[in-house]
Amino acid sequence: MQKARVALAGLGNCASALIQGIHYYSKYKKAEECFGLRNLTLGGLHAKDIEIVAAFDVDARKVRKDLAEAIFAAPNNAPEIVKIQRTGVTVNKGPILDGLGQYTRTVVQLNDEKESEVPEVLKESKAEIVVNLLPSGAVKASEWYAEQALTANCAFVNVTPNSIASNSSWTKRFERKNLPLAGDDLIDQVGATTLHKTLLALLSMNGVRISETYQLDVGGGTESLDTLERTRDIKRTVKTRSVESALPYKAEVVAGSTDYVDFLQNRRDSYFWIKGTYFCDVPMQIDLKLSTMDSPNAGSVLFDVIRATKIALDRGLRGAILPICAYAFKHPPIMLSLEEAEKSFADFISRPSSADHE
């Protein structure tokens, strides 16, 4: 099987973690020798079979730079995990559109060069998959890159919470072009939402009746700054619906990002509070705190999404690929339980299915 040739829209902290991860895991041959990945090999594709062939950004400290240099340029603050040699891939200038909010304009140095012809770059680089890593508030810019993917006959992966894979009009457009689509809002590997849902499902399965619960996140990366200004309500809606799906009954649920703390840098702190009753209606309460480095959280899941999307491409599948969407995203076209999503994805990888696209 050929490599998955990927173009990145946005070269922030998640892109840095992804690129470093490809280099980090390329040396491993056996799954038992490495840690931190769910799947070293997926459907015949090794982690090193993900190849970044093009990238787009608007910051002057990244545009015209090699990927190896650009991923460590400010305002990125993801940790340097591995030393990367020059890749030969130069970052192209993308359009701004609504990619920057009032807050993020204070930390980004805009490049004033002419924008690249994105479809031409995608075709020249022989990219197969466009991965949207723009800030959550970049609604128009996210849709613009989806449009360019269609023009260049590329599959599209929407990491942001903006509604693309879960939007029927976009799904139909990718179906007509015979291209796969995956999204929306990537689930973290050590994610607050997944942990919250798992706890609620486990407690409920054991007979506990949950009455109230919340999950609040505080971070220090550029994405947290953008969320503070523009997408706090969107993220709260998406996360709350995702968490609610873990319970077979109605409860008071709030889940979302709340604030930006600059000195946290690329760290994120998540707080959980769960209230309910168990045997003989006796009350119980849980208070938890989860601290993670934000950018590496996207790595393992994104590895699986990219390779699964390549598999969908090779099988000629089109539109929103439900097994990928439900497995890896908080806002898929159809919400499945954790168990259903896992089984659906495993079945998809192991064999083709007529039910692979929605």
Which tokens hold the place of 220?
């220090």
Instruction: Specify the CATH class of 4-187+297-350 in words.
Output: alpha beta
Contact 295, 14 (CB under 8 A): yes
Instruction: Give the DSSP H/E element, type plus range, for residue 209.
Output: strand 209-219
Instruction: Give the DSSP H/E element, type plus range, for residue 131.
Output: strand 129-132
As a CATH number, domain 192-294 is 3.30.360.10
Cα torsion 42, 161, 202, 200 to 10°: value is 170
155 three-class SS: strand
Contact 349, 328 (CB under 8 A): no
Q: What are phi and psi of 9, to 5 degrees?
A: -95, 100
Q: What is the pLDDT along the chain (358 residues), one digit of tens a residue?
A: 589 999 999 999 999 999 999 999 999 999 999 999 999 999 999 999 999 999 999 999 999 999 999 999 999 999 999 999 999 999 999 999 998 888 888 889 999 999 999 999 999 999 999 999 999 999 999 999 999 999 999 999 999 999 999 999 999 999 999 999 999 999 999 989 989 999 999 999 999 999 999 999 999 988 888 888 888 888 899 899 999 999 999 999 999 987 899 999 999 999 999 999 999 999 999 999 999 999 999 999 999 999 999 999 999 999 999 999 999 999 999 999 989 999 999 999 998 654 455 4
Query: Is it true that 4-187+297-350 and 192-294 share their CATH fold?
Result: no
pLDDT at 354: 47
What's the longest Cα–Cα distance across the chain? Answer: 69
With tokens 């598999």, the residue in question is 311
Whose CA is closest to 153, among 180, 131, 132, 184? 180
pLDDT at 234: 86
Contact 136, 306 (CB under 8 A): no
As beta bridge partners, residue 257 has 217
Segments making up each domain of the chain, as ranges = 4-187+297-350, 192-294
Q: What is the chain's Cα-based Rg?
A: 20
How far is residue 151's CA from residue 154's CA, in Å, rounded to a whole number? 8
pTM over 0.95: no
Q: Is the CA virtual torsion 156, 305, 124, 68 positive or negative?
A: positive
HSE, side-chain direction, 13 A CA sphere, residue 278: 13
How far is residue 151's CA from residue 221's CA, in Å, rounded to a whole number? 32
What Å distances lie between residue 354 and 184, 332, 351, CA to CA?
22, 18, 10
Distance separating the N- and C-terminal Cα atoms of the chain: 25
How far is residue 87's CA from residue 169's CA, in Å, rounded to a whole number? 37
Whose CA is closest to 16, among 304, 302, 231, 275? 302
What Å distances lie between residue 15 and 7, 55, 322, CA to CA?
10, 9, 24
How far is residue 76's CA from residue 32's CA, in Å, rounded to a whole number? 32
Q: What are phi and psi of 174, to 5 degrees?
A: -70, -30
Q: How far is CA 5 from the centre of its chain?
A: 17
What Å distances lie between residue 152 and 87, 124, 129, 134, 308, CA to CA?
23, 10, 10, 19, 20
Q: What is the DSSP letter of 116?
A: P
pLDDT at 62: 98
As beta bridge partners, residue 77 has none
Whose CA is closest to 321, among 148, 188, 155, 151? 155
What Å distances lie between residue 159 and 48, 64, 141, 330, 335, CA to CA?
21, 24, 13, 10, 16
How far is residue 261's CA from residue 7's CA, in Å, rounded to a whole number? 31
Whose CA is closest to 111, among 123, 126, 124, 100? 100
